[in-house]
Amino acid sequence: MEWREVNKWRRETRNEILVARLARPLAVRKATRDKIVAHLSREMPWLGRDGFGFYWPFRGELDLRDFAAAATSGGGAMALPVVVKEKQPVEFWEWQPETKMVPGVWSIPVPASRKRVQPPALLIPLLGFDDAGYRLGYGGGYYDRTLAASTEKPLAIGIGYAVDHLPTIHPQPHDIPMDAIVTEEGVRWISARNPLAAGGLSAGDAGEPPCMMSDADPAYMGYLTDEETAAFLNELLEGERAGARGVIEMARATPDLELRVALSAVAQDEARYCAM
């Protein structure tokens, strides 16, 4: 599939999943969250010791704030993602249960004070996911950019509902798979980076080289396609033409000779630019 087709499919799938997720009763969300917390506690006991980045729940995402608060007793630093600049990697700012919060991008709360940390693991919310560990997110690309820009790639641990499993998300060069997927059904490791596995890599070690953003489709990076650029330029041209017609009418209507000459010169300039 071309990127334009993939992008359209992702928008439609994203909306379908969001509608279903927001319709889930709070009791179902809490029960799912409790099962996921149990899996994390049993199979990733090092999280509290080493620290991790997590997320402030948004639009029906599973709420792991209590889990993060309890994990602070392990000695590791907990952190939340902060969008500092649009379409750039996020920063992770240290969080404690008593941390003062302020509204961030999309009004999602972020720590009021910037104290950057580099978590060795990230708990990343999933809208959808596939068997290869690729994640369907909101489409902003922030986690992909963050993972791609990391000198020491953190463990990427996707958190989501089992029902949101997809056959494929049609991965592109800019998409980076999760190291593990955690749902209410359990933990599934995608990569060989499980710190508890025999011979597994440590959380600080890099996995496979991430795809660089230079490999990404220009449309994904926010650039206009050729067709969109042509349409935009045609709109500008129509604006120039309308401006030229307006100036000509003003020149015809004014009794002031000097003003008429000046307006006529402006109209000629407008007409010349329209013809370029």
Per-residue pLDDT in tens (0 to 9) along the chain, 276 residues:
788 899 999 999 999 999 999 999 999 999 999 999 999 999 999 999 999 999 999 999 999 999 999 999 989 999 999 999 988 999 999 999 999 999 998 899 999 999 999 999 999 999 999 999 999 998 888 998 999 988 889 999 999 999 999 999 999 998 999 999 999 999 999 999 988 875 544 444 433 334 444 444 554 445 455 666 666 666 766 767 777 677 677 778 877 776 766 666 666 665 555 555
CB 246 within 8 A of CB 266: no
Q: Name the nearest CA neighbour of 159 among 61, 82, 56.
A: 61
pLDDT, residue 267, reads: 61
Q: Let me know whether 138 and 230 are in one domain.
A: no
Handedness of CA 36, 41, 46, 49 (dihedral sign): positive
N residues, the chain:
276
Q: Let me know whether 117 and 163 are in one domain.
A: yes
Q: How far is CA 65 from CA 2, 13, 53, 148, 269, in A?
A: 38, 27, 11, 26, 62
Q: Let me know whether 51 and 154 are in one domain.
A: yes
Quick check: helix, strand or coil at residue 12?
helix
Q: Let me know whether 230 and 207 are in one domain.
A: no
Alpha-carbon Rg for the chain, nearest whole angstrom, is: 26
- Terminal CA-CA length for the chain: 37
Cα–Cα distance, 261 to 250 (Å, whole number): 11
pLDDT, residue 68, reads: 96
Supply 12's token pair. 């439609």
Q: Name the nearest CA neighbour of 117 among 91, 97, 142, 136.
A: 91
Give a yes or no: residue 219 inside a domain. no
Q: Which residue is associated with the tokens 């799938």?
A: 13
Q: Let me know whether 239 and 196 are in one domain.
A: no
Q: Let me know whether 111 and 143 are in one domain.
A: yes
Cα–Cα distance, 37 to 49 (Å, whole number): 16
Cα–Cα distance, 2 to 233 (Å, whole number): 25
Q: Let me know whether 143 and 235 are in one domain.
A: no
Q: Let me know whether 86 and 172 are in one domain.
A: yes
Strands (E), 83-131: 91-95, 101-103, 109-111, 121-125, 128-129
pLDDT, residue 274, reads: 56
Supply 62's token pair. 């599973």
Whole-model pTM: value is 0.71
